[in-house]
Structure 1
Amino acid sequence: MTDAIQNPNDADPKAAPKFRRRKDARPDEILDAALRLFVEQGFAKTRVEDIATRAGVSKGAVYLYFPSKDALIEALVDRALGGMADEIGAAMRAYNGHPRPLLERFAGVVRHHLEQNDVIAVPKLIIHEAPSQPQLARIYGERVINKVMPDVIAMFSRAMDAGHIRRLDPEMLVRSMLGPVFLHIILSDIFGIVPERGLSLDLLFETHLSVFFAGIEPVKEA
C-alpha cells in the first residue's frame, strides 16, 4: 500500500514555504526587492526574474501585482511620497493665511520622509535614471510634483492678494522654493559634494526658508 499523500495544511507551520506567506505582504516585499535592485544595478539591467528571486516569489507573482517595471516605479513613488503629496496638496488648498507657518510645518514632514532610506532612495533613483529612462521622470512628475505644484502656486497667489507676501510670479516662486532641495540631493548624490555634516536636511530647510521668506516679505514703502 502506498503512503497517503500528506495534506499540506497538516505540515509543520514552521516549515511553511515562502508561497504561504500572507498575500497582503507580497506587494511590499516585491517593491522592497525591486528598489534594492534598481539602486544596485540600474533600472534597465534589472530583470523581472531578478526581482522575483530577490523577493522569494515566482516571476508570475510579480506580474500578478505589477504588470511592468514601470508599474513597479509607479508603486514605489506612490508608496514613498504619494501620501505626503496628497496631504500637502489638501492642506494648501484649504489655507488662506501667511504661507510661512504652513511651509515650515511641511518642511518638517518632508524632512522626516526624506530621512528614511527607503524614501529618499526613490527620488535619488529617478534623478539617476531620468536621462536614459525619461518615462521615470514623467511618472515622478505626474504622481508627486504635478499633484503639489498647482496647489502651492494657488496658495502663493492668495497670499499675494492678501498682502502677506510681495507680488511675484507665483510659479517662479514655487520653482525657486523647490530648486535648492533638488540641487542639494544632486550635488551630494551625483557629484559627491557633501557638506561636512552630511545631507543635514534640517539645516538645509532652516537656512533655505529663512532666506526664502526674507526675500518675499512685502516691500515697505519709504
Structure 2
Amino acid sequence: MTQNTPKEPKFRRRAEARPDEVLDAALSLFTEKGYARTTVDQVAKRAGFSKGTVYLYFASKEAILEGLVRRTVEPVAEAAFETMADFRGDPRPVLAQFLRAMAQALAVPKTRAVVMIVLQEAPVAPNIAALYRKSVLERALPAMISLLAQGVAGGHIRAIDPELTARSVIGPMIAHLLLSEVFAIRPEGGLQMDRLVENHLTLIFAGLEPPVGETP
C-alpha cells in the first residue's frame, strides 16, 4: 500500500509566506501614502498581522524598505555584476543585455514602485540613499566602469571616460522614470521603456564606435 506524503502543516506554510505578505502590504502603503507617512502599525494592519508579528521579520520600517530593495531591485544589479565582471571584449553587447534587462525589470509595476520610492525619499533620508547605494549602485556602477575601461584598453570602443560614460548609460533610464512617474510626462502609448532602451542603445553605440581604422 502506497503511503501519501504528509502535507506540510498549514501554519508552517503561512509562516514562510509572512515576510512577502508584509513586503506587499508595505509597498502598497508606501505607494499610496508615501514612505514617510506610513507606519509599521499601518503595514501590520494592511497585511493582517499584529505589529509584533511584523517585528519578528523586520526590525523597523527602514528594514522593510531594505527588504523590498533586496527582493525586487538587487537581483537586477547582481545579474549585471555577474555579466560584466571579468568580461573581455567589445562591451556593447553586454551593455545592451544589461539595459534590456533593466527595462524589463522596470516594466514590472512593483519593481518600478520600489525604485521610485527610493528616488523620492533618498534626498531627505540619508539612510535610504546609503541602503540603495550599498545594495545596488556600489556593485553595478564599478562593474560597468570596469567593463568600459577594458573595452577602451582593448580598442573595442573609442577612448572615452569610463566613469562618466557609465553615468551616461544609466542616466537616461532614471530621467525617463522621473519624467513619467513624478511629472506625468510620458511618450504616446505609456512608459515605453523598451523603446527608450533601443533608441538609447543606438545613440550610445554610435558614440562608442572606434574611429575608422582603429578597430582591433
Structures share a fold, TM > 0.5?
yes
Q: C-alpha distance in 2, partners of 1:89/1:129?
A: 25
Q: C-alpha distance in 2, partners of 1:102/1:20?
A: 42
Aligned to 1:28: 20
Match 1:181 to one of 173, 178, 183: 173
Q: CA deviation at 1:20?
A: 7.2
Aligned to 1:62: 54
Query: Superposition RMSD on alpha carbons, in Å?
Result: 1.8
SS in 2 for 1:94: coil
1:163-191 CA distances to partner (integer Å, 9 max, x unpaired)? 00011111001001111000000111122
Q: C-alpha distance in 2, partners of 1:175/1:181?
A: 10
- AA aligned to 2:16 is D
Aligned to 2:132: 140
- AA aligned to 1:183 is A
Rg (Cα) greater in structure: 1
Q: CA deviation at 1:132?
A: 2.5
1:199 aligns with 2:196: no
Aligned to 2:117: 125
Aligned to 2:33: 41
Q: CA deviation at 1:161?
A: 0.5
Q: C-alpha distance in 1, partners of 2:100/2:123?
A: 30
The gaps in structure 1 that reach 5 residues or longer are 1-12
Q: C-alpha distance in 2, partners of 1:109/1:168?
A: 24
C-alpha contact (below 8 Å) 2:73/2:115 kept by paired residues:
no
Q: What does residue range 100-119 of structure 1 map to in structure 2 within 5 Å? A: 100-119=92-111
Stretches of 4+ moved more than 6 A in 1?
A: none
Q: CA deviation at 1:21?
A: 5.7
Q: CA deviation at 1:220?
A: 2.4
Q: C-alpha distance in 2, partners of 1:128/1:40?
A: 13
Q: C-alpha distance in 2, partners of 1:20/1:173?
A: 49
The gaps in structure 2 that reach 5 residues or longer are 1-8
Q: C-alpha distance in 2, partners of 1:173/1:105?
A: 17
Q: Which moved more, 1:134-143 or 1:55-64?
A: 134-143
1:92 aligns with 2:92: no
Q: What does residue range 151-166 of structure 1 map to in structure 2 within 5 Å? A: 151-166=143-158
In the alignment of these two chains, the number of paired residues is: 206
Aligned to 2:206: 214
Q: CA deviation at 1:221?
A: 5.5
Task: Return the TM-score normalized by structure 1.
Answer: 0.88
Q: CA deviation at 1:162?
A: 0.4
C-alpha contact (below 8 Å) 2:157/2:208 kept by paired residues:
yes
Q: CA deviation at 1:95?
A: 1.3
